[in-house]
């Protein structure tokens, strides 16, 4: 007797002529309508952010001497061309936006709706509108943009400081229209709606602009131009904006988009010409010998009984196999909530084994209490990744779930980007982009004679402090819900090829609803970076992250670890914050500068950064600045905070302090990562 799977196969083959035929992939039109936005659908680059369901394309600087730019790109590639039929898509889009400028004496540079072959499009500020660069082209091909420009730039042929234009691979518009005669002020701060239609068969682009949600009868711009010649098969759509020497802010509040006009394949007219097609053709019917009336009746009765029964059996077996497979998948993956992983891809365990040489010790680039990080080189694409392999424990599993669910939804230029994950064979693997220059602590403490990297220059150090402040402001004030990292330290700050900082390791991070008191939790982090009130009460807030940031800033300035041994014959540990504050009280703060810099630094910037470090590391949490204030001080947009000459005394107002027995050191950190211990509670 056949086993169930074999019976299922035979019955399936016998019923093949009755089943619907498979349909090959055909061109697909797409449409979406966002009344509000979330990070599930967008990639945010540069200074762009989400707030209250709207996209902010650039930062409100409040300083006429600063600049900002950003882009927001729809995550999925959209088909604009079908090479098989040599046809191109038409499209229609509408969006509501605001351009606000609190400084009427200055102007920003407007925004664009663009179509680009690259999902990582980010250009320069000023007349380049955050989309193009100096060569008047984006890095990976040509971009199509409709600009809503608020600056008159004669070098690019702008008609006025309030116009709409069509740009192809350049900020110089092919055609532009002045909006002043139409009574529309782009930078009025009022909601404005724009409609853009392109019909490929007519090769005509039309743009409407108005203050109401009703589409005006006449377009403000109508031009015949073949955008189809600039379409690639798949492209990305999004928005860009920039503001230089202005406080102008650009927001997108809603957006709808659709493509149409791509043909669908007609299978009925196709003639099979390959193996796949012949499988779709109808199986020929064998001739059946003539039967007598009685035999015919018996055969009909038999088929009438056996046919439905066999069909029911096939359906029951199919449902059983499907449910069993689904339950197995659910059992394997229910622990890490796959609904959070729509962005990053799921890697196969075997491809990560090949990429890491079966997790060979020669590929280890970091190790600690969390597990081990390996350098992985994909055997096919050659792309280099960093694979974080968590320890197989319940605690590591929880940290894996936290890191995957939190960082998968975050987008910022100073965050290490999560590329994917894998949970096969009871492993918990996270795949990140590879950072060429490793961690900040490795570079900062390598020294010129270590045979690795030279000491960081002052410009690089200042850029690291500013980048870290930017990403923490994003986590604390622009994410919903708010993200508390809880483990800010130099070993978790990674550096790319240009020494730009990227914050990583969100295994200890926590999500927190805004305007709610933090719940008590287990103390976790690293000695020397933990805020006093966090050790006392075990409550993580944004101010505990600010304290850790202050310690990192003092490290960057001084080149000293948070806790180090005193020189000479003394074996007493020296706390970095106490040491710097002592110099400040003696009016010798500049002596805290790293001697390896040999005086090659900006004295004013050094003092400003040291004072920022002390103000962030204030023992009293209420005296610490927000990360937004820190970023403003770094950008010279706000005055530095007043720092008391003597380190304030720490006072606790309530709760019961923890005993040292309640704080357990995790000394599994190796020299490859941090040489400090992680403090946790059993």
**Of 603, 612, 657, 654, whose CA–CA distance to 633 is shortest?**
612
User: Largest Cα–Cα distance in the chain?
Assistant: 117
Q: Return the number of other C-beta atoms located less than 10 Å from residue 415's C-beta.
A: 19
Interstrand relation of 345-346 and 418-422 (parallel, antiparallel or unpaired): parallel
139, 128 in Cβ contact below 8 A?
no
Q: Return the number of other C-beta atoms located less than 10 Å from residue 581's C-beta.
A: 25
507, 483 in Cβ contact below 8 A?
no
**Structural tokens at position 576:** 């970095």
In which residue are the tokens 């599994």 written? 668
The residue from 109, 149, 167, 487 that is catalytic is 487
Active site residue 178: no
Angle at CA 278, nearest 5°, toward 22 and 313? 50
User: Taking each helix axis from N to C terminus, what angle separates 542-558 and 603-616, rounded to the nearest 10 degrees?
Assistant: 150
- The C-alpha atoms of residue 133 and residue 149 are separated, in whole angstroms, by 17
**Helix or strand (DSSP H, E) at 168:** strand 163-168
Exposure on the CB side of residue 2, measured as CA atoms within 13 A? 8
536, 679 in Cβ contact below 8 A?
no
- The C-alpha atoms of residue 1 and residue 155 are separated, in whole angstroms, by 84
3-state secondary structure of 403: helix
- The C-alpha atoms of residue 344 and residue 493 are separated, in whole angstroms, by 21
Q: Read out DSSP for 344-384?
A: SEEPPHHHHHHHTTTT-GGGEEEEETTEEEEEEE-TTT--E
Q: Show Cβ contacts of residue 18 under 8 Å, excluding neighbours closer than 6 positions.
A: none
**Burial classification of residue 205, based on how many CB atoms lie within 10 Å of its CB (0-12 exposed, 13-18 middle, 19 or more buried):** buried
Q: Known catalytic residues?
A: 487
């Amino acid at each position: 007797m056949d086993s169930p799977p074999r019976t299922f196969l035979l019955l399936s083959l016998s019923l093949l002529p009755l089943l619907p035929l498979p349909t090959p992939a055909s061109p697909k039109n797409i449409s979406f309508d966002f009344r509000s936005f979330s990070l599930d659908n967008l990639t945010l680059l540069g200074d762009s952010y989400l707030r209250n369901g709207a996209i902010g394309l650039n930062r409100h600087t409040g300083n006429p001497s600063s600049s900002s730019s950003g882009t927001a790109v729809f995550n999925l590639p959209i088909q604009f061309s079908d090479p098989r039929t040599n046809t191109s898509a038409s499209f229609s889009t509408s969006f509501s936006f605001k351009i606000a400028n609190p400084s009427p004496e200055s102007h920003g540079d407007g925004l664009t709706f663009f179509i680009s072959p690259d999902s990582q499009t980010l250009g320069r500020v000023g007349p380049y509108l955050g989309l193009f660069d100096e060569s008047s082209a984006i890095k990976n091909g040509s971009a199509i943009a409709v600009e809503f420009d608020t600056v008159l730039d004669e070098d690019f042929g702008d008609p006025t400081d309030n116009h709409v234009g069509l740009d192809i691979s350049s900020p110089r518009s092919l055609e532009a229209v002045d909006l002043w005669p139409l009574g529309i002020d782009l930078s009025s701060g009022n909601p404005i709606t724009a409609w853009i239609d392109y019909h490929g068969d007519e090769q005509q682009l039309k743009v409407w602009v108005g203050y109401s949600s009703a589409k005006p009868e006449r377009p403000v711009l109508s031009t015949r131009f073949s955008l189809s010649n600039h379409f690639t098969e798949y492209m990305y759509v999004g928005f860009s904006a920039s503001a230089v020497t202005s406080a102008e802010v650009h927001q997108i509040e809603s957006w709808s988009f659709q493509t149409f006009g791509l043909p669908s394949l007609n299978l009925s007219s196709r003639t099979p010409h390959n193996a796949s097609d012949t499988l779709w053709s109808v199986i020929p019917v064998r001739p059946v010998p003539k039967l007598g009336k009685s035999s015919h009746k018996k055969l009909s009765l038999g088929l009438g009984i056996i046919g439905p029964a066999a069909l029911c059996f096939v359906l029951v077996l199919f449902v059983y196999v499907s449910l069993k497979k689904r339950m197995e998948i659910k059992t394997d993956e229910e622990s890490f909530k796959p609904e959070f992983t729509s962005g990053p891809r799921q890697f196969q365990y075997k491809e990560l084994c090949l990429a890491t040489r079966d997790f060979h010790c020669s590929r280890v680039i970091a190790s600690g209490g969390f597990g081990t990080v390996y350098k992985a080189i994909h055997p096919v694409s050659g792309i280099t990744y960093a694979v974080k392999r968590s320890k197989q424990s319940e605690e590591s599993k929880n940290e894996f779930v936290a890191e995957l669910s939190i960082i998968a939804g975050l987008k910022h230029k100073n965050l290490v980007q999560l590329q994917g994950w894998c949970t096969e064979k009871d492993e918990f693997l996270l795949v990140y982009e590879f950072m060429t220059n490793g961690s900040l602590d490795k570079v900062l403490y390598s020294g010129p004679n270590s045979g690795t990297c030279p000491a960081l220059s002052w410009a690089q150090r200042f850029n690291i402090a500013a980048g870290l402040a930017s990403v923490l402001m994003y986590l604390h004030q622009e994410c919903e819900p708010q993200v508390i990292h809880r483990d800010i330290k130099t070993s978790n700050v990674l550096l790319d090829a240009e020494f730009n900082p990227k914050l990583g390791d969100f295994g200890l991070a926590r999500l927190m609803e805004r305007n709610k008191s933090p719940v008590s939790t287990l103390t976790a982090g690293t000695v020397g970076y933990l805020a006093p009130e966090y050790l006392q009460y075990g409550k993580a807030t944004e101010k505990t992250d600010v304290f850790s940031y202050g310690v990192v800033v003092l490290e960057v300035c001084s080149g000293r670890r948070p806790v180090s041994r005193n020189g000479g014959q003394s074996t007493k540990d020296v706390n970095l914050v106490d040491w710097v504050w002592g110099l400040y009280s003696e009016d010798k703060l500049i002596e805290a500068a790293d001697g390896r810099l040999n005086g090659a630094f900006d004295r004013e910037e050094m003092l400003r950064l040291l004072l920022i470090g002390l103000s962030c590391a204030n023992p009293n949490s209420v005296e610490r600045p927000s990360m937004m204030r820190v970023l403003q001080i770094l950008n010279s947009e706000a005055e530095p905070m007043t720092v008391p000459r003597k380190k304030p005394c720490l006072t606790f107002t309530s709760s019961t302090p923890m005993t040292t027995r309640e704080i357990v050191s995790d000394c599994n950190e190796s020299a490859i990562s941090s040489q400090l211990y992680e403090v946790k509670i059993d």
